[in-house]
Amino acid sequence: MKFGYMSVSKVDLNSAQKKQLEDFGCDRIFLENINSSRRNRPELNRLIEFLREGDTVVVTDLTRLSRSTKDLMAVIERISQKGAHLKSLKESWIDTNSDDGKILLTYLANITQFESELTTLQNKEVVQAANRIKKKRKEILSSISRLSTSQQKQIIGHLDELITISYDMLFRN
């Protein structure tokens, strides 16, 4: 069976999507009246529970199913676990019932994994840089704290010219 899935936030989008899904021959259409970027989508969950082996989930556009690649891949995995397939009318290459669609989806999954690993690596690098700065700040504070207040302000004044940092900012808790 073919099951259409619609995710609309505005009523005027509803009729165009519904007509496309009906014209494609969907036996039943599940309508979500919330933004597709939300994690909790009761109608999508109900549709996936309803699926049987050999069924096809049809969407007019992938953005109706998900707004992020990571979430899209998770939804497709849930559909596949039921033995069902996904077909996008706009992105005709997304058809998990065809060999070409499966290959393209594999590429998409690999790109998604690469993006995720790259983001994780970048986040680690940012945390490491912040930790180095924090360590240097402590070293600077330790050295400066041994000086008199007038000497501290003089050094901070020079630092301020070089790196635009104020006395209060350097000595904040």
What pTM does this model have?
0.61
Active site residues: 9
Closest CA to 28 of 11, 45, 6: 6
Residue 115 lies in a domain: no
Residue 10: CATH number of its domain? 3.40.50.1390
pLDDT of residue 141: 74
CA–CA distance, 171 with 156 (Å, rounded to integer)? 10
Query: Looking at the domain assignment, is residue 113 inside a domain?
Result: no
CA dist 73 and 108 (Å) reads 8
In a domain, 37, yes or no: yes
Distance, in Å, from the CA atom of 24 to the CA atom of 4, rounded to the nearest integer, reads 9
Q: Tell me: pLDDT of 146 over 90.
A: no
Whether residues 93 and 128 share a domain: the answer is: no
Considering the domain boundaries, does residue 6 fall inside one? Answer: yes
Query: Are 90 and 60 a contacting pair, CB within 8 Å?
Result: yes
- Span 13-38, average pLDDT: 83
Instruction: Check whether residue 25 and residue 92 sit in a common domain.
Output: yes
| Domain limits for position 143 | 124-170
- Both 164 and 92 in one domain: the answer is no
Q: Are residues 65 and 131 in the same domain?
A: no
Q: What's the confidence (pLDDT) of residue 99?
A: 82
Alpha helices in the chain (DSSP H): 11-24, 42-50, 62-65, 69-81, 99-145, 149-163, 167-170
Give yes or no: residues 87 and 129 share one domain.
no
Q: How many domains are there within the chain?
A: 2
What's the pLDDT tens digit per position in 26-55? 999 999 887 555 667 899 999 999 999 999
Which of 56, 78, 97 lies at the terminal end of a domain, its last residue?
Answer: 97
Q: Which of 64, 69, 2, 73 is nearest to 32 (CA)?
A: 64
